[in-house]
Chain A
Amino acid sequence: VITEADIQRLAELSRMEIGADEAARLAKDVEGILGFVGQVKEAAAAAPGGVDYGFAPVDTLRADDGVEPAGQNRDALLAEAPKARDGFVEVQKVLGGRGGEA
């Protein structure tokens, strides 16, 4: 059973504020979905070992060339940040306050 408290815990872990009404709806949905996806066990029982599903990610290294010089796109990227100042993205300070929880 997924409770509203479970939803609030998951919301905390995923850094989302969720209201009480929304949590109640989501608890019902998430419980239904987790019940449905549980049937994956049956297919998994037939699984070959290893990690290969035909195109499983492999560690690939690209050649160390064509790398853009540091700061080349800085202005373009900063222009899209909600807040920027002096060449940096601006956020609230986390040291010296209670924000350190993050």
Chain B
Amino acid sequence: MDLTTITIAEIAAGLRAKKFSSRQVTQAYLDRAAAENPSLNAYLEVFADALAQADAADARLAALGDAAPALCGVPVSIKDNILVADRKVSAASKILEGYRAPYSSTVAEKLLAQGAVLLGRTNMDEFAMGASTETSAYGVTRNPVAPDRVPGGSSGGAAASVAGRLAVAALGSDTGGSIRQPAAMCGAVGFKPTYGAVSRYGLIAMASSFDQIGPIARTVADAKTVFDAIRGKDGRDLTTDAKAEAREVKTVGVPKGWESGVDADVAERFRASLARLEATGVAIREVELPTLASALACYYILVPAEVSSNMARFDGVKFGRRVEGKDLLDTYKKTRGGLLGEEVKRRILIGTYALSKGYADQYYRTALAARRAIAADFARAFETVDAIATPTSPFPAWKLGEKIEDPLAMYAADIFTVAANVIGAPAISVPDGAVARDGVALPTGFHLVSPRWTDDALLSFAEKFESLGR
């Protein structure tokens, strides 16, 4: 039995039935990582104590049996921007090279409390800024489905760890699609919870009013298991809450004009999936979202503005590395100029511009108004539909290097995913077949957004969608 092809649910059942141990499952994943990671570069570090964690989980399973927590003994990966006490964390940046977390994030504490086995920390775009994992200071991650192509991003290592069978599930973070888009491009499930449903305490901040931690997994049920383990109100993140609104998804909206810029075969797959849903009795309705086209522009003002503020803390004084200059100001400039990558600098500059006197009205405050307009548009749409569907990305995974010189082309990969972060809503990408490029079948994703705090309804509907493809 290949222990790296089964789901969390199957691992949990097998562990309880004593068909195999957590040590055996963990070893199977470590073997995969040893064989595949040198070429995939999904992990920046595989934790040397993974088997010891597995042994502790096995002891707990032996003592607790069926009462053991759902993730006890289950090997998962964690994105390199989520803190685990005493382990290295770098946000894939040179500026944090060698830095060790002095404390654990709430999500890591919750996983560890369940007895999950942390296999390693996964590669990402530097400080999560990117859509392809190519801005990592530690090399690109390759797409397990097509190694000459990107895995998407920024949680590209997380998605590749799941799709490449180097972990059964992964924790990622999503600021504008960074969980869902790589999940779609690697053929996995990616779920971004409602803003506030999962604590951000101990997540290296990118854009604080957009960031959210969530799971990448093989199935929707597995994503839900991980989400249930990490969700909840946290006194250390005052934006969190434990709300859950009952709502069943019966009517799905499709935004008017969604086809614009979408590859023809991706659009065809999406239409076919809508038809399959309709055949099961789900009502499909076109919705007007006139401001949707501006969501990406709104995002690329507000996010850099928040980035420029959040990144100010990396100055060579308190964390990571320092490049000494002739005086303190010069030290700041040399540290930041020398150790931050170009995409990070680009966003800091744009944010600084958008917030500067004379331009803040034209850019930052206008974008805040647009955010309200987009939220109002979605609220109106959600009066008539329970969820809104689009493809996750307008195109499948592209070739390594193809878009790295063109930031706007890269940003376009997130055209369908950013709106959920703009309005703080839950959203999910579920595998939706494949399209062929150069004779290779590349995964595509079916994307659903639903109103804030309807995460459970969204997940159960996504599970229904997933079952249609089986």
A14, A30, A80, A83 interface centre (most CB from chain B within 10 Å) = A14
* Distance between Cα atoms of A17 and B330 in the complex (Å): 8
Residues in B293-321 with C-beta less than 8 Å from chain A: 293-295, 297-298, 300-301, 308, 312, 315-321
Interface of A is mostly: loop
* Distance between Cα atoms of A54 and B84 in the complex (Å): 32
Given contact pairs A14-B352, A26-B346, A43-B374, A80 touches B366 in the complex (Cβ within 8 A)? no
Min C-beta distance of A68 to chain B, whole Å? 10
Contact across chains for B102 and A77 when beta carbons are under 8 A apart: yes
Contact across chains for B238 and A60 when beta carbons are under 8 A apart: yes
Contact of A39 among B102, B294, B353, B372 (CB under 8 A): B294
Residue tally, chain B, CB below 8 Å to A = 71
Contact across chains for A11 and B373 when beta carbons are under 8 A apart: no
Contacts of A22 in B (CB 8 A): 342, 345
* Distance between Cα atoms of A15 and B317 in the complex (Å): 13
Q: Does B328 contact A (CB under 8 A)?
A: yes
Q: Mark B344-378, 1 if CB is under 8 A from A, else 0.
A: 01101110110010000001001111111111110
Contact across chains for B196 and A55 when beta carbons are under 8 A apart: yes
Q: Does B333 contact A (CB under 8 A)?
A: yes
Residue tally, chain A, CB below 8 Å to B = 58
Contact of B336 among A17, A40, A41, A91 (CB under 8 A): A17
Contacts of A51 in B (CB 8 A): 368, 372
Contacts of A89 in B (CB 8 A): 317-318
* Distance between Cα atoms of A42 and B296 in the complex (Å): 13
Contact across chains for A37 and B102 when beta carbons are under 8 A apart: no
The chain B residue sitting closest to A12, CB to CB, is: B333
Residues in A37-82 with C-beta less than 8 Å from chain B: 37-48, 50-55, 57, 60, 62, 66, 73, 76-77, 79-82
Contact across chains for B100 and A80 when beta carbons are under 8 A apart: yes
Q: Which residues of B contact A (CB under 8 A)?
A: 99-100, 102-103, 195-196, 209, 235, 238-239, 290-291, 293-295, 297-298, 300-301, 308, 312, 315-322, 324, 327-329, 331-334, 336-338, 340, 342, 345-346, 348-350, 352-353, 356, 363, 366-377, 379, 407-408, 411, 422-424, 452
Please give me the 10 A-B residue pairs with the lowest Cβ-Cβ distance, nearest first: A17-B337, A43-B294, A82-B322, A99-B327, A47-B369, A44-B369, A43-B370, A47-B373, A43-B291, A76-B102
A39-B294, A40-B367 known; 9 new pairs, CB 8 Å cut-off, are A10-B353, A14-B336, A44-B366, A45-B373, A47-B369, A57-B209, A80-B318, A80-B320, A82-B316
Q: Which residues of A contact B (CB under 8 A)?
A: 7, 10-11, 13-18, 22, 25-26, 29-30, 32-34, 36-48, 50-55, 57, 60, 62, 66, 73, 76-77, 79-83, 89, 91-94, 97-99, 101-102
| Sample of 8 A–B contacts (CB below 8 Å) | A16-B333, A16-B337, A43-B293, A47-B369, A54-B423, A54-B452, A79-B100, A82-B317
